[in-house]
Structure 1
């Protein structure tokens, strides 16, 4: 068991080493080990749980990391519960009394499922992160808003996601334990733990592509004019993007109309340098998918810039891969003239 834990710690260290720029001097191995070796497996006594998780940790960021790691590796995502909640919230969205009644019943169900079965949805993850952080004297808030998990985000008429912000050294940082914990199968509802460290203290510019808060102050962006429309038009990025990217720069939109032979630029800031052999597109032209190298690839330290030219008119789905990981999706309608 010890060997498995230390292998996991090594893989986690590879993920976290280059991404949390404000905490480069912090080694999270001790915090992660506290979380992974914690012998308390229930939520019956939060002070005792926090005491064990934060034992011998000297900084707030390490204490929060241990809490976050424990939640992300011990609480399962209940996709069927999420679907049931979203169905009824849409069903009662124009019936205030029925919606209030549903929310009260659901919150009780959600709390019982979290404490008894250690299963929950995003609101439960955000709640338990906040409560554990509060016990550790950390300022942590729940943020409600929209999470982009498909190309139909613009069809949402009600918020569908929750996450956290935490204040460390006087500055607010993002985290999303729901998406970090693993992936539920939408067909079987079977959940597999698969910790993704990229959702811990994520760069706001990357976070904003897939998260939009109801209260815009929690965008944490210098550009406070970033709108919900811009959010819905932005590219679709996947879970693995958070492992490899620090910032997504270009293209700014998912759906693009361009001219034949026009040069298209894809620009990213990486968490660690890559080889050109690690990068490829999977391009679907409606007749099949073809693994394709960009027209040009430039990697300078942690800056990845790709250029591509479409030589024929048509409609193309373009999927970016780094190694075997699907990173992002874009569409291009290529015309002979606009």
Structure 2
């Protein structure tokens, strides 16, 4: 991850990651239609001078203009067969097919995660900014991994600004998969722009572990056993206790505990359980170790493996999987 020693470098990075992009967003959202991605990139370069503003402009345009394509036709579309006689020919075919996908997504204003990441990657390259497309696993459920075969289901970007890598997921910034309803929710999420690696690994696991940008790295079992983190978690100054995973182990009396290391002053938290609509309050207690502990009791008729979602200030922040028949 980005552990910085020099104060000056830290200061520059802090500016980059906390910058207010209101003016950039306002200008880009009023852009006219463009005939090509090249024309869009020229407009962005003319309107903005800094690399961070240009990346933000590209991100905002993609999030505002590209709609996630949920059709089965797209999902089952046949992959192009590459015919080549050399490695050079193979690379040429890949670039050609990539160009076609980018052009189609730009023209139709629709795409999946790979088109989102391709568009942002291409724009960054035209700005002279280092960028990579990362493929891996986007977490939408809590489960015991147990060595089962995994498949890459998502792609995102990493860009280098002020000599520091940061993650961008334009797909999840414009829409995300809601695990309970099993639907795509179209809602803007600021969290997925220039996300710190320590936060990003809670929801995204790269196929190449080097792109975690963390030391030590997170293993796949820890990734899947953790709770589901919603964008609201990162925006509210909440810190879950380090000994909490994604499983809420109920006592024999169906009590459960959730521990936090940090909470904002407003501590009004509620929860609801999947397949129910009733919101319930959590009771707060501060321990001698300065932890905040929420305790509640669930209905004994409740079935195992249900999802429990925490609501903070009318926003979901965390989801856990209920596991019955355990002591704390």
Q: TM-score, normalised by structure 2?
A: 0.73
Change (3 A) 1:113 1:268: farther
SS at match of 2:279: strand
| Correspondence list, 1:34-49, <5 A | 34-42=27-35, 44-46=36-38, 48-49=39-40
- What is the aligned residue count? 292
Question: Aligned to 1:231, which of 215, 218, 223?
Answer: 223
Aligned position for 2:309: 319
Could you tell me how far 1:325 is from its partner in structure 2? 1.8
| Correspondence list, 1:58-207, <5 A | 58-80=49-71, 84-85=75-76, 110-111=101-102, 113-151=104-142, 154=145, 157-182=150-175, 194-207=187-200
Structure 1 unaligned blocks of 5 or more: 1-19, 90-99
Report the more deviating stretch, 162-171 or 237-246: 237-246
Aligned position for 1:6: none
The two structures, once aligned, show a CA RMSD in angstroms of 4.0
Could you tell me how far 1:291 is from its partner in structure 2? 2.2
| Correspondence list, 1:223-262, <5 A | 223-224=216-217, 226-238=218-230, 240-241=232-233, 243-244=235-236, 249-250=241-242, 252-260=244-252
**1:331 and 2:321 equivalent?**
yes
SS at match of 1:30: helix
Q: TM-score, normalised by structure 1?
A: 0.71
Aligned position for 1:16: none
- Decide whether the 8 Å contact of 2:197 with 2:214 is kept in 1: yes
Aligned position for 1:12: none
Report the more deviating stretch, 321-330 or 261-270: 261-270
Could you tell me how far 1:329 is from its partner in structure 2? 1.2
**Structure with higher helix content:** 1
Distance in 2 (CA, whole Å) between partners of 1:233 and 1:185 is 18
Distance in 2 (CA, whole Å) between partners of 1:185 and 1:337 is 30
Structure 2 unaligned blocks of 5 or more: 1-12, 80-89
